[in-house]
Amino acid sequence: MIGRLNHVAIAVPDLEAAAASYRDTLGAVVSEPLAQPDHGVTVVFVELPNTKIELLHPLGEESPIANFLQKSPSGGIHHICYEVDDIHAAREHLTEQGARVLGDGEPKIGAHGKPVLFLHPKDFFGTLIELERV
């Protein structure tokens, strides 16, 4: 059901410094910051030959990333995103298997302009999983 790894998301306390580190120290191609108000984050994508790194920074006080950074002030891995061909079929299969979809269970448009869902980390060994339609 799941396809290729789309990205690994890392919450960072300083988006500009994190982007500069990937760009200047590691020599990666780094996107411009992109505000995602519906998700409460600003994102920067680090392009790699086989996947992406998504740097996440809070957009507002109510951001889930602000909560994450309160618990882990240095930042850290926030979630892993896998691609799926059919996000609705994936949701149905996963809920039949007992996995919990976060929020209202309906896909929202993610940073790539495609529908996404998040799965409860307690159902996947402490890892927040994002599914993105290809």
* Residue numbers annotated as active site: 130
All domains of the chain in start order, with CATH: 5-133 (3.10.180.10)
Contact yes or no for 12/95 (Cβ under 8 A): no
Q: Which amino acid is at 14?
A: D
| Helix (H) or strand (E) run with residue 43 in it | strand 41-47
Measured distance CA(86)–CA(1) in Å, rounded: 9
Query: How, if at all, do strands 108-109 and 41-47 pair?
Result: unpaired
Could you tell me where the DSSP H helices lie in the chain? 15-20, 64-71, 87-96
69-78 pLDDT tens trace: 999 999 999 9
Dihedrals phi, psi of 92, to nearest 5 degrees: -60, -45
Across the range 97-111, mean pLDDT stands at 96
18-77 pLDDT tens trace: 999 999 999 999 999 999 998 999 999 999 999 999 999 999 888 999 999 999 999 999
| pLDDT for res 61 | 85
